[in-house]
Structure 1
Amino acid sequence: MKISRFLTAAVIAGVGALVISGCTPSAEDDSGLIEGSAISVAWNQAFYSMNGFTSYGNATANNNINYLVLDGFNYYDNTPALVKNTSFGTYELVSEDPLTVTYTINEGVKWSDGTAVDAADLLLNWAALSRALDTPDFDPADFTDPETGEFTDAFPTDVVYFDSGATPDAGLGLVSQTPEVSEDGRSITMVYDAPFVDWELSFSSPLPAHVVAKNALGITDNAEAKQAVLDAIQNDDAAALAPISSFWNSGFNFTSMPSDTELVTASGPYMITDFVADQYITLKANPEYTGENKPTIEEITIRFIPDPLAAVQALQNGEVDIISPQATADIKTALDGLDGVTVLTGLEGTYEHVDLQFENGRNPENIFSNPLAREAFMKTIPRQEIVDTLIKPIIGDDAILRNSQLFVPGAEGYDESVANNTSLDYEQVDIEGAKALLAESGVTNTDVCILYAANNPRRVNEFALIQQSANQAGFNVTDCGSTEWGGLLGTPGAYDASLFGWQSTSLGVTNSLPTFQTGGINNLNFYSNAQVDDLVAQLNVTFDKAEQITMLQEMDKLLWEDFYGVTIFQFPSVTAYSDRVQGVDPSILAPTIFWNAWDWTVTSGESTEG
């Protein structure tokens, strides 16, 4: 029997058969793990990096997996509320002035290879996420491959550069002094140069320092490798930090199971044990994990199925047990015909948008460096037609235009921001107005190549609607669609406009600010506005909610007046799972369905032989 319920979308302020390996599952061990239990989940994009903190690896497809294999100090549940993960470690606010925080790893917490998680891992995390030790004024733009988005072999070997996008006025960028390491080697204490409103969210899950140093410095012993990291950072040793930063940037990028299995060393409840390019990645319960989030299911395989209808078919055929495809009218109809499946629908914390490249576009004249050309193109984007054609058939009247870069529809401050941010000027297509602006711009090369997910049917349809409309105004819209679109985002010379979704990962007021700040990790279109940067800096240290809303409204207005690009809609969500699995309860925030994978359970009954 199919059960449907509507997921209530939290208002974000500021923005088949059960697959069993073997036959009947074994009895539970003391941790609750069912030996031999396995399920499969479908996802629409392949994994490609275990470092989700770089400009290249920062993608949902990666971070869904990384969330389960890399443990951290906190996470969001689906309320959503921030949960302190005290079984991994603790953090203590030592002082408010200056803002001082101590992070401590619990005794006995280990990596999957048995090596202790300790201060070396934390200190490397600080160096990477603060960029405090980076070579000054280095710009990596000339060393980025426009075909892949990765750094080229020509990248200088003597440069210290951590590709985390940190800026000196936010997050760990505000911790410019090297943290103090405790005598027992399990804690670091960080002193901020200035207050930071979202300090609890600034210290992400660390990567294994010993793996980094072994590869970067040619060290074979784990303890020596950890000490080398500590020495390099504490002594600001550029000769050692250069290869360390280089490996941190690129060493965890892989599209199939690496021959060096140390690269998948994990600290979370699961670890990567198998990975076939463009097909699937398999996670197995980490035997060294001692935290509270111990899994019940021993093995989870994430199968990469870009076509949402194919994902539905896989669920129906028993090839996968859980799917969360991009919602379309066809998907809703197909799921309505399935029995033995629970379907959850609603809205999620992701919004669709088109961004324009202010610099480093593919067009030889860099067309969107011209504000009149940007304004003209925005007038051609058929936002309402996209919503009416592709989204309303799924969720009905809940499908509305999103008219803010910073506020979710329904959030406090949204209506007032929309009334003042000029977004309503782009509610309807204005071809004649676009023609006039394009002529006035003086642009002679009107090529606009749009990057999007070429294997995503909804995005293919959106691209076609935009292309047809913009061409009527004199633009020559060409296809930069790619199955590797995620790694290409922000790559100089790769495209002129991009069509994709931003997914909220937290409720922090600073959550979306790196998208618009000069040099921010999510600033993929080379946008820069001194007033916006000033507002970002103020928001980073403002704790009063009313003042935050006022500043966000001002910033939203500036973004639209700069012809940054357009927002289109809040994502409709659909999750469906077989009645042979329980505990699936998606969150509006990333990592959505995976946030409580350790709570998933296999229902009783006959198993399917694997």
Structure 2
Amino acid sequence: MKIRRFAAFGAAVAATALALSACQSPGSGSDDNGGDDEGLSQDTAVTFGWNQSFYEYNGDSSTGNATANAIVLYLMNSAFRYFDEDLNIAQDTSFGTYEKTSDDPLTVEYTVNDDVAWSDGTPVDAADMLLSWAATSGHFNTLADEEVETDEEGNVTNQGDNVYFSGTSVASSYIIPTPEISEDGKTITLVYDRPFADWEQGFGIGVPAHVVAMHALGIDDATEAKEALIDAINNDDTEALAAISQFWNEGFQFGDSLPDDESLYLSNGAYLLTDFVRDQYVTLERNPDYNGDRPANVERVTIRYNGDPMASLQALQNGEVDVIEPQATTDILQAAEALGEDFTVLTGDAATYEHIDLAQNNGGPFDPAAYGGDAAIARDVREAFLLLIPREDIVDTLIRPLNPEANVRQTNLAVPSAPNYDAIVAANGYEEAFPAVVDQSSIDRATQLLTDAGVTTPIDVRIMTDSLNTRRQNQLQIISDTVNASGLFSIVDASNADWGALLSDTSQYDAAIFGWQSTGTGATNSDANYRPGAINNFYGYDNPEVTALLDEIAVTTDQDTVTELQGEMEAFLVQDAFGLPIYQHPGVDVYRNSIEGINPIALSPTVFWNYWEWDVTGDTAGEPTSEEATEEATE
């Protein structure tokens, strides 16, 4: 067996949930004409094992913002830029170009190439870019974030005739006024109302504008639909935008199988989505009309879903899948290394870090509303709870057997190997406020806080995490044992297999344990987690001083100054007892040696980033058929 260890990347990647990137030149023998099969691995298929099912095509919405969706969308759709294996930004000029034309005001022009089209034949153009801006800018919403009510799936239930797009982007929010579109409809000009350090990473294309407008406005012709959408945005037509925003929020959510309406899963990239069974698999096939620089070298890609890492490893051994990236445990690594010479194991720090966040907007134990609006009492209860999280025990029990050098992570803003990590940690105060080892002094401090607050103990706390993930369940058990033993809190297991879709519905939990996967190298990536109403701020967190520092970070180009500001900002998170970082995920990728070109990076989409370099040199697993899925469902 070949085992290759790869070191953690040193880039200062920040925490967020979603990514769409990749890089380098096409694999040897590939050409720029998607209709020419020279260099293509004929009749080839690669099957991946993954832990969470694809469930939504709109990766920019609050419900669709997840890595499980991003990896599929990455294979389906091209973009202006991507990250190479060294995490450098590269432009995909076969898709389009962008250029900063002014620094004062910051002005950027994006142009989509004439030959780029959606898989229904409709050109990709400035209408798609305009919709992406409008939907993620927040400028058109007439329903305030604090007024939004959602169901268990995170869908807005009180939108009515209001405009409300559920996704937000700090980059889009800084683009004012409404972007202008060129006469040929291929170029859009973005003018920022302030400098923005991460402008090159902050804008792209999401869902097809013509599909949204056709469904929302009842228009049959794609060209007319795009024109109507552009008019609605340019004229701030609330009636039309209300319908457009509602479809944008909910129209691309998948049920249990592939929608009958093919417009809900169009592609403009290397692969077409051809089959889907929720929680079982997706199948993608090479797009014959793709003519960009990164054509699919493998004809068919299937992703099979199983949240049990050991079951995924067993599927690899049984020939049911070819590549897996399971959540690593000691048992997984030992079992992977015992597979034999036909498999390769890659290990190193992954792009994800584990953390626990507390809901402050659900009437529960960490919400001021539970104490008559007294924010100080709620803060003290949050601090008392976090003092009892045994982070050192978690790392020592679950992570160090995989990575002996692992330590408790002490910041949400940088990976442990990043050059700014130590400086942020020195400034934020996590180590002093929340010691990693829970001892009697921790319990005494927590007891005093709750006594002074006058709250009755024990306090029930519902913790939600992945019910199918072995390591997270072990982690929950370690936390429960320690917290329950204090007598101050009582842990209620609110684990759920659909935890990702439920994060936006804090009525389901009081604390959530999961991982943020880095999507880029920009300093503003964490903005989405802590700004009021931002896409990853599920918890109602709102500190004006944090928001002001986020604003300052966004316009600062000097890295040393950014680091200082990040330390200041995170100190407020510590003071507010927002939550705790726990550890950097250890990464394990395992694949059969008949697949070449597997080379994961420490950003989403991790192992999928260089799909055009994959090559099949021997036997691989076949993709599931609808008949197989029916059989599995009845067994």
Q: Does the alignment pair 1:175 with 2:175?
A: yes
Q: CA deviation at 1:595?
A: 0.8
- Pair 1:382-2:399 in alignment: no
Cα pair distance change 1:211/1:428, threshold 3 Å: same
What does residue 352 of structure 1 align with?
Answer: 354
Task: Report what 1:155 is aligned to.
Answer: 159
Pair 1:459–1:607, CA change in 2 (3 A): closer
Shift of 1:14: 5.8
Residue in 1 aligned with 2:25?
A: none
1:585 lines up with 2:599 in the alignment: yes
How far the C-alpha of 1:140 sits from its partner, in A, is 5.0
The residue that corresponds to 1:530 in the other structure is: 544
Equivalent positions of 1:501-512 (< 5 A) are: 501-512=515-526
CA contact (8 A) 1:431 1:472 kept: no
Per-residue CA deviations over 1:40-79 (Å, capped at 9, x if unaligned) read 1000001111111111111111111111112211011221
Number of the residue aligned with 1:427: 436
Name 2:211's counterpart in structure 1: 211
Equivalent residue, structure 1, for 2:124? 117
Aligned equivalents of 1:217, 1:374: Cα separation in 2: 46
Shift, 1:604, TM fit:
4.4
Matches within 5 A, 1:553-592: 553-592=567-606
* SS at structure 2 position matched to 1:231: helix
The alpha-carbon distance between structure 1 residues 606 and 596, as it changes in their structure 2 partners (threshold 3 A), is closer
Name 1:451's counterpart in structure 2: 464
Offset, 1:470: 1.1
Displacement of 1:414: 2.2
Look up the equivalent residue of 1:561 and give its one-letter code: Q
- Following superposition, the deviation at residue 280 of structure 1 comes to 0.4
For structure 1, the residue ranges without an aligned partner over 5 or more in a row are: 16-27
Residue 148 of structure 2 corresponds to 141
Deviation of the 1:417 alpha carbon? 3.0
CA distance 1:435–1:301, change in 2 (3 Å): same
Q: Deviation string for 1:506-555 (max 9, x for gaps)?
A: 00011112211222211122211111111100001001111111111111
Distance 1:138 1:434, change over 3 A: closer
Instruction: Tell me which amino acid in the other structure corresponds to 2:10.
Output: V
Residue 544 of structure 1: aligned partner: 558
Q: Mind listing any 5+ residue stretches in structure 2 that lack a counterpart?
A: 15-34, 625-635
Report deviation, 1:455: 0.7
TM-score normalized by structure 1? 0.93
| Aligned with residue 477 of structure 1, among 471, 486, 491 | 491
- What residue identity is the alignment partner of 2:227? Q
Q: Taking structure 1 as reference, are residues 10 and 132 closer, same or farther at Cα in structure 2, changes over 3 Å only?
A: same
**C-alpha distance in 2, partners of 1:237/1:130?**
16
3-state SS of 1:338 partner: coil
Write out aligned runs for 1:181-580 (5 A): 181-255=181-255, 256-339=257-340, 340-363=342-365, 366=370, 370-396=378-404, 398-425=405-432, 426-429=435-438, 430-444=442-456, 446-473=459-486, 474-580=488-594
Give me the whole-angstrom Cα distance separating, in 1, the residues matched to 2:65 and 2:580.
22
Contact 2:128 2:205 in 1 (8 A): no
Q: Deviations over 1:337-372 (max 9, x none)?
A: 112101100102211111111222545964897111
- The separation in 2 between residues aligned to 1:570 and 1:275, in whole angstroms, is 32
User: Which string of whole-angstrom CA distances, capped at 9 and with x for unpartnered residues, describes residues 267-302 of structure 1?
Assistant: 121121100121001111122211111011111010
Q: Is the CA contact 2:45–2:622 (under 8 Å) kept in the aligned structure 1?
A: no
- Report if the CA contact (8 A) 2:46-2:622 is conserved: no
Residue 594 of structure 1 aligns with which residue? 608
What is the aligned counterpart of 1:45 among 49, 52, 64? 52
| CA contact 1:101–1:190 (8 Å) conserved in 2 | yes
Identity of aligned residues (%): 46
- The root-mean-square deviation of aligned C-alpha atoms, in Å, is 1.9
Of 427-436 and 88-97, deviating more is 427-436
Residues 221 and 412 of structure 1, relative CA distance in 2, 3 Å threshold: same
Q: Aligned pairs, how many?
A: 589
CA contact (8 A) 1:329 1:390 kept: yes
Q: Which moved more, 1:75-84 or 1:570-579?
A: 75-84
Counterpart Cα distance in 2 of 1:100 and 1:606: 48
Who is 1:8 aligned against?
Answer: 7
* Aligned-pair CA distance for 1:185: 1.0
SS across alignment from 2:283: strand
What are the superposed Cα offsets for residues 159-193 of structure 1, whole Å, 9 maximum, x if unpaired?
11111124xxx311011311111111111111111
